[in-house]
């Protein structure tokens, strides 16, 4: 039996608006007013998103971000910082759903695995030899740069991280979003993450893995087809509802565009 979900494709927008959209849909799904949603989006301007509990310190250069015209925003989800380039180099996804929407998948790691299966199938459909990492080998402190370490049930290509994801839950309702790298600007990464000695050492991109850079739309189509085939979903294109749009406006104004939230003091 197929399950009806919304496919939400939004125009590139700033970091505050992108994060407000994700939270508005997440809150709406928790309240039962929003449908389960797979969202594909991009960023304008390019933006560094900080993890919910991450410090804005010397590991992420706010000065370099200002000089380069790169935005800064704090996510509602955890993990480490990610540089989100424009749609020519990155597709960002989010999955907002309940355990029931996933057919009764309740455990956090099982949820990661459920989503990873869709992501991995999409990358393989594009021609990348992607694999799900069940138990990564990692030592030392959590790095400031998300792609410097692979977590459980994340995606690697040839032993290098290709997708960075983070999740937050409220009861049985969750928001997970992540970055799929189409290509990368090494000089920007080095400027924005000055304490990460070699940001490319542990990561890869679809361009590097495939020998060509797939388009944003090609990746979005692959995600849609993969999640439908892998999980028996019926992804129906739709936009934000009135209640969600009002929540986005409020969350931008009161949270994501504020210096207090960015500083982590909210």
> What are the pLDDT tens digits along the chain (266 aa)?
678 999 999 999 999 999 999 999 999 999 999 999 999 999 999 999 998 888 888 888 999 999 999 999 999 998 888 999 999 999 999 999 999 999 888 888 889 889 999 999 999 999 999 988 876 555 554 444 344 444 567 888 888 888 988 899 998 999 999 999 999 998 898 999 888 878 788 888 999 999 999 999 999 999 999 999 999 999 999 999 999 999 999 999 999 999 999 998 65
> Which pLDDT score is estimated for 143?
46
Asked if 98 contacts 29 with a C-beta cutoff of 8 angstroms, the reply is yes
The question of whether 219 is a catalytic residue gets the answer: no
| Structural domain total, the chain | 1
Asked if 22 contacts 8 with a C-beta cutoff of 8 angstroms, the reply is no
| Cα 211 to the center of its chain, rounded Å | 24
H-only helix segments in the chain: 15-31, 62-68, 108-126, 186-192, 206-210, 216-231, 242-251, 259-263
Closest CA to 45 of 21, 69, 24: 69
Among candidate residues 120, 146, 173, 219, the one labeled active-site is: 146
* Pairing of β 71-74 and β 47-50: parallel
> Which pLDDT score is estimated for 144?
44
Q: Can you read off the two tokens belonging to residue 57?
A: 């310190």
* Residues 6+ away with beta carbon under 8 Å from 107: none
Q: What is the three-class DSSP state of 118?
A: helix
What's the DSSP call for residue 21? H
CATH of the domain at 203: 3.30.930.10
Q: Can you read off the two tokens belonging to residue 159?
A: 């032993």
Q: What is the three-class DSSP state of 38?
A: strand
Domain that holds residue 137: 3-263
């Amino acid at each position: 039996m197929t399950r009806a979900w919304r496919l939400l494709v939004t125009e590139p927008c700033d970091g505050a608006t992108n994060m407000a959209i994700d939270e508005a849909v997440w809150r709406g799904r928790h309240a039962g007013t929003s449908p389960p949603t797979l969202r594909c989006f991009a960023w304008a301007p390019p933006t560094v998103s900080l993890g919910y509990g991450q410090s804005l310190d010397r590991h992420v250069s706010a000065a370099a971000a200002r000089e380069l015209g790169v935005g800064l925003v704090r996510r509602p989800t955890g993990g480490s910082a990610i540089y989100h380039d424009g749609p020519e180099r990155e597709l960002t996804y989010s999955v907002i759903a309940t355990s029931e929407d996933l057919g009764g998948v309740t455990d956090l790691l099982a949820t990661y695995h459920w989503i990873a299966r869709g992501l991995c199938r999409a990358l393989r459909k594009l021609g990348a030899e992607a694999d799900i990492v069940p138990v990564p080998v990692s030592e030392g402190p959590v790095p400031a740069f998300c792609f410097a370490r692979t977590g459980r049930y994340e995606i690697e290509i040839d032993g290098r991280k290709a997708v960075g994801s983070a999740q937050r839950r409220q009861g049985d309702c969750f928001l997970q979003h992540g970055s799929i790298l189409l290509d990368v600007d090494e000089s920007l990464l080095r400027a924005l993450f000055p304490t990460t000695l070699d940001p490319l050492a542990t990561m890869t991109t679809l361009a590097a893995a495939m020998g060509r850079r797939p388009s944003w739309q090609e990746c979005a189509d692959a995600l849609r087809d993969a999640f439908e085939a892998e999980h028996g979903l019926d992804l129906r294109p739709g936009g934000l509802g009135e209640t969600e749009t009002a929540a986005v406006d409020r969350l931008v104004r009161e949270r994501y565009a504020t210096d207090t939230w960015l500083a982590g003091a909210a």
